[in-house]
Amino acid sequence: MDLRYPIGNYEPQPYNEELKQRWLYDIKYLPTDLEIAIQTLDSFQFDTPYREGGWSVKQVVHHVADSHMNAYMRFKLGLTEDNPVIKTYDEKKWAILADIDSIPVNVSVTLLHALHQRWYASLSELSDEQWQRTIFHPEQKKAITLWHLLGMYAWHGKHHVAHITELIERNNWK
């Protein structure tokens, strides 16, 4: 197994109602899934990288909050502007900022619960046409549909929860 991608890479899928509901539930329940994954970890375990050269569990948790705050804004922009150019960020640099070490992970988990409640509410009633709205990613130099973003962020949450749960499993921390 490739420890970087424990659930594989994100594979874009054509729009369909069943998949939409599954991805929306992934968004809705990611904070709970993440909270359950980390609930028994101690400070040593939070400081353990999920793989050699990878982020610590603490960095992963804070990264999910950072990433999903950006994602929420990308969706809002995509719903209210015509193909807006999104702001990119350097996630590796964000992962080593002072707040990552100084703020307990429960702050990011709490943030994720509130954020995902708003995010799910804003997405759950979109029309088929709204899912085809786009944002423009300047690094990828292409327009990306909100449908594609939904799948990518549903995958993203599961991907990082799997980093943590696979680490726990490999180290017999249960």
- The pLDDT assigned to 147 comes to 98
pTM above 0.85, yes or no: yes
Q: Indicate if the pLDDT at residue 129 is higher than 90.
A: yes
- The pLDDT assigned to 163 comes to 98
Q: Indicate if the pLDDT at residue 40 is higher than 80.
A: yes
Q: Indicate if the pLDDT at residue 1 is higher than 80.
A: no
Contact between residue 22 and residue 63 where contact means Cβ atoms under 8 Å apart: no
- The pLDDT assigned to 28 comes to 98
Question: What is the mean predicted confidence (pLDDT) over 95-104?
Answer: 97
Strand partners, 49: 56
Question: What is the mean predicted confidence (pLDDT) over 102-116?
Answer: 98
pLDDT band for position 3 (50/70/90)? very high
Structure tokens at 17: 């109602």
**Cα distance between the two ends of the chain:** 21
